[in-house]
Amino acid sequence: MSLSTAFFAIIKRDLVLALRRRSEVANPLLFFILVITLFPLGIGAQPHLLQSIAPGIIWVSALLAAMLSLDSLFRSDFDDGSLEQILLSAHPASLLVLAKVIAHWLVTGFPLLIVAPLLAVFLGMPTSSLGVLLLTLLLGTPVLSLIGAIGVALTVGLRRGGMILSLLVLPLYVPVLIFASNAVEMAGAGLPIQAQLNILISFLIMAVFLAPWPTAAALKMSIN
Question: Which residues, other chains included, contact 111 with Cβ-Cβ below 8 Å and sequence gap of 6+?
Answer: 25, 28, 29
Residue 54 is part of which domain span? 3-223
List the chain pLDDT tens, one digit each, 224 residues. 688 888 999 999 889 888 887 777 788 899 999 999 888 888 776 778 888 888 999 999 999 998 888 887 887 788 777 888 888 888 888 999 999 999 999 998 999 999 999 999 888 888 888 999 999 999 999 999 999 999 888 888 776 666 778 888 889 999 999 999 999 999 888 889 999 999 999 999 999 999 999 999 888 887 76
**Structural domain count of the chain:** 1
DSSP code string of 76-116: HHHHHTHHHHHHTSSS-HHHHHHHHHHHHHHHHTHHHHHHH
